[in-house]
């Protein structure tokens, strides 16, 4: 297709998508009933860690007699296969064991896990009323003055958490980032709502007082959580960044690759964790790609982006061939990386599995058509 036709084809994109992209609004893109479609990619990957958790919620007859907090912890352990995979990175916090001791308000921290890309926290919100749940679950079709919302305006009431009063992170029930997810995760008997949040590791301080709020936001095209109306403050909980255990493996021979005129590179090894793998590689463009640049012109910047894209493409092609082999004879393809982190003249490409594994059971890896045994 020539350039003119390509331009025209793009020009004819559906109005809905052009309107939707006027501003980045993942939490409000499609309204409360369709929030699952608006989840960030990072969340989608991590969400799979306990996708079936909701089935366990409310069905824990075996746990009767324990506090709802302890029940939730046990359910999470099971769903995340913490014991089966001996996941050291999963941290569980003390909670009231006895239902009589359960707090009536505030936030109870259940557990945390650092998956290398995100710091995940699971919490129980106490003292959540049915009114709050319905406010979040029911679609809102009117402006605050009672007038109907425009076709492209969205008003929604949702949960967020943050520690500095400026940046807010999405909070969602494991069962789904939507109305049904909220209703399913709510236990009316104990007035508790079990939810999760994931904070990008490089934004997460060592310690923080995580505050959970419900905000009523109207998105006319330029709204933000901080512009919304605080409806309920559910309290806060102290959290800290947790560690990640890595098993470093060096390949007996580097896996080399070429990137045309830009040069070449090699995969040297990998760092395995219960929730992901970091590929360790070195290539000719590293110093240019991962160090701060000041561009003399737009043209220079575009050239840099072309170089960066070329490397990412070459590396991506190889990483897509990666398969881990386990002691029991099973194998697993590895998801492509979500981000890269420079380390001297090397780079670590971080991939998240979306579930947990036992890193000690990995006995081999296939990359670029070559298979290495791991001692």
Partner 1 sequence: MEDERILDLFFERSEQAIGELDKKYGAAAARTAGNILRSRQDVEECVNDTWLGVWNRIPPLRPSPLGSYVCRIARNLAVSRLRSETADKRNHSLDLVLDELEDFLPSGQSVEADYDYKETVEGINRFLESLRYDDRFLFVRRYWYADSVKEIAASMHRKESQISLRLFRLREKLRKTLQKEGLLV
Contacts with partner 1 by CB under 8 A lie at 1-3, 5-24, 26, 29-30, 37-41, 44, 143, 147, 149-153, 200, 220-222, 289, 298-299, 301-302, 305, 308-309, 312-313, 316, 336-340
Q: How far is the CB of 316 from partner 1 (least distance, A)?
A: 6
Contacts of 340 (CB under 8 A, 6+ apart): 290, 347, 348, 349, 350
Residue nearer to partner 1 on the CB measure, 4 or 104: 4
Q: Give the other-Cβ count within 10 Å of 192's Cβ.
A: 24
The pair phi, psi for residue 251, each rounded to 5°, is -70, 145
Q: How far is the CB of 280 from partner 1 (least distance, A)?
A: 17
Contacts of 177 (CB under 8 A, 6+ apart): 35, 36, 38, 39, 43, 170
Question: Is 43 strand, coil or helix?
Answer: helix
Determine the Cα–Cα distance for residues 214 and 234; give it in Å rounded to an integer: 8
Contacts of 131 (CB under 8 A, 6+ apart): none
Q: How far is the CB of 27 from partner 1 (least distance, A)?
A: 10
Determine the Cα–Cα distance for residues 325 and 169; give it in Å rounded to an integer: 36
Q: How far is the CB of 240 from partner 1 (least distance, A)?
A: 23
Q: How far is the CB of 151 from partner 1 (least distance, A)?
A: 6
Residue nearer to partner 1 on the CB measure, 10 or 61: 10
**Interstrand relation of 276-283 and 346-352 (parallel, antiparallel or unpaired):** antiparallel
Residue nearer to partner 1 on the CB measure, 139 or 336: 336
Residue nearer to partner 1 on the CB measure, 150 or 188: 150
Residue nearer to partner 1 on the CB measure, 47 or 123: 47
Q: How far is the CB of 47 from partner 1 (least distance, A)?
A: 12
Residue nearer to partner 1 on the CB measure, 245 or 302: 302
Contacts of 292 (CB under 8 A, 6+ apart): none
């Amino acid at each position: 297709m020539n350039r003119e036709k390509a331009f025209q084809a793009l020009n004819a994109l559906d109005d809905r998508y052009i309107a939707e992209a006027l501003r980045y609004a993942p939490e409000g893109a499609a309204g409360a009933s369709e929030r699952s479609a608006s989840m960030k990619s990072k969340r989608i990957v991590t969400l799979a860690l306990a996708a079936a958790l909701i089935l366990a919620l409310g069905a824990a007859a075996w746990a009767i007699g324990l506090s709802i907090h302890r029940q939730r912890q046990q359910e999470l352990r099971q769903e995340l296969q913490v014991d089966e995979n001996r996941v050291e990175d999963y941290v569980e916090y003390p909670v009231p064991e006895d239902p009589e001791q359960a707090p009536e308000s505030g936030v109870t921290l259940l557990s945390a896990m650092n998956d290398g890309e995100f710091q995940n926290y699971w919490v129980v919100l106490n003292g959540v009323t049915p009114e709050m749940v319905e406010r979040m679950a029911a679609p809102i079709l009117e402006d605050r003055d009672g007038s109907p919302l425009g076709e492209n305006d969205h008003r929604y009431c949702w949960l967020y958490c943050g520690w500095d009063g400026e940046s807010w992170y999405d909070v969602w029930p494991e069962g789904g980032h939507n109305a049904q997810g909220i209703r399913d995760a709510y236990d009316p008997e104990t007035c508790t709502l079990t939810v999760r949040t994931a904070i990008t590791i490089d934004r997460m301080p060592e310690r923080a007082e995580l505050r959970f709020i419900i905000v009523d936001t109207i998105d006319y095209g330029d709204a933000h959580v901080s512009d919304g109306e605080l409806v309920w403050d559910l309290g806060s909980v102290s959290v800290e960044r947790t560690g990640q255990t890595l098993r470093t493996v060096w390949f007996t021979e580097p896996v080399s690759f070429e990137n045309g005129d830009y040069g070449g590179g090699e995969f040297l090894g990998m760092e395995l964790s219960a929730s992901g793998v970091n590929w360790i590689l070195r290539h000719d463009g590293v110093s240019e790609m991962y160090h701060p640049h000041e561009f003399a012109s737009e043209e220079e910047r575009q050239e840099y982006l072309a170089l960066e894209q070329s490397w990412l493409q070459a590396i991506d092609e190889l990483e897509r061939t990666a398969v881990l082999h386990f002691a029991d004879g099973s194998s697993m393809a590895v998801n492509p990386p979500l981000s890269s982190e420079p380390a001297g003249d090397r780079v670590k490409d971080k991939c998240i599995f979306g579930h947990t594994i036992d890193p000690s059971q990995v006995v081999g890896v296939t990359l670029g058509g070559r298979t290495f045994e791991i001692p």
